Amino acid sequence: MNENRPETNDGPAGGDAPARVQQLFIRHQGIIKAFILSLQPGFADADDVLQETFLVVTRRAADYREGSNFTAWACAIARFKLFEARRRATSPTLTEEALAALCDDAPDEAFLQERLPALRECLRRLAPRARELVWLRYHSELASETIARQLEWKEPAVRVALSKARAFLRDCVQGQLAKGQP
């Protein structure tokens, strides 16, 4: 982008709209993915919707108006991609009406921005083994039976440990927010 050319309300100068919205997408990807995950809990499926959303955001870059709420715009696109994914699913779990209602109640950017620092702090406070389990389950997207094999644990023990870790994180985040701390 030419730094000497100002951006206008119609988008970045010089036809760099796709590059600009891609930068915004990358900057706000965590919030967009959290929105998608709140409605499409399978990580692989959510990643597919996120990638499809990125492609549409890039293709429709000229439609984005600089200064407007980018995450709301991108999440609206993600919502339509979620509807498409639901239609393609061989055994959809939600009706379109239920998905639409969930989209209307999905957390907004402020809600997520408020909780992410608290969650990071609470993850830091988890016992090392519990943090490893959470990492394997939610970052590496491993099923509890795979984690059990990898750690040489019994699967019920993994499920119980994950349940305790989630309860700790929930209580910790709520406590952090009640104190007004991240």
The domain spans of the chain are: 13-105, 109-179
Residue 125 predicted with pLDDT over 60: yes
Distance of CA 12 to the CA centre of its chain: 26
Q: Quick one: pLDDT band at residue 7, thresholds 50, 70, 90?
A: very low
Asked if residue 11 lies in contact with residue 64, where contact means CB atoms within 8 angstroms, the answer is yes
Report CA 85 to chain centroid distance, whole Å. Answer: 16
Which residues pair with residue 8 across a beta bridge? 11
Which residues on neighbouring strands pair with residue 11, listed in sequence order?
8
Give Cα separations from 40 to 7, 43, 70 (angstroms).
36, 8, 21
Write out pLDDT tens, residues 60-87. 999 999 888 898 899 889 988 988 887 7
Mean pLDDT of the chain: 79
Percentage with pLDDT > 70 across the chain: 76
pTM over 0.85: no
Residue that is written with structure tokens 């293709």 in the block: 59
Residue 48 has pLDDT above 60, yes or no: yes
* CA separation for the pair 75, 167 (Å, rounded): 28
Please tell me the distance from the alpha carbon of residue 165 to that of residue 132, in angstroms, as a whole number: 10
Q: Which CATH number fits domain 13-105: 3.40.50.12780, 1.10.8.60, 2.70.150.10, 1.10.1740.10?
A: 1.10.1740.10
- Both tokens of residue 5? 């050319």
Indicate if 109-179 has the same CATH topology as 13-105: no
Q: Are 82 and 62 in contact (CB under 8 A)?
A: no
The CATH class that applies to domain 109-179 reads mainly alpha
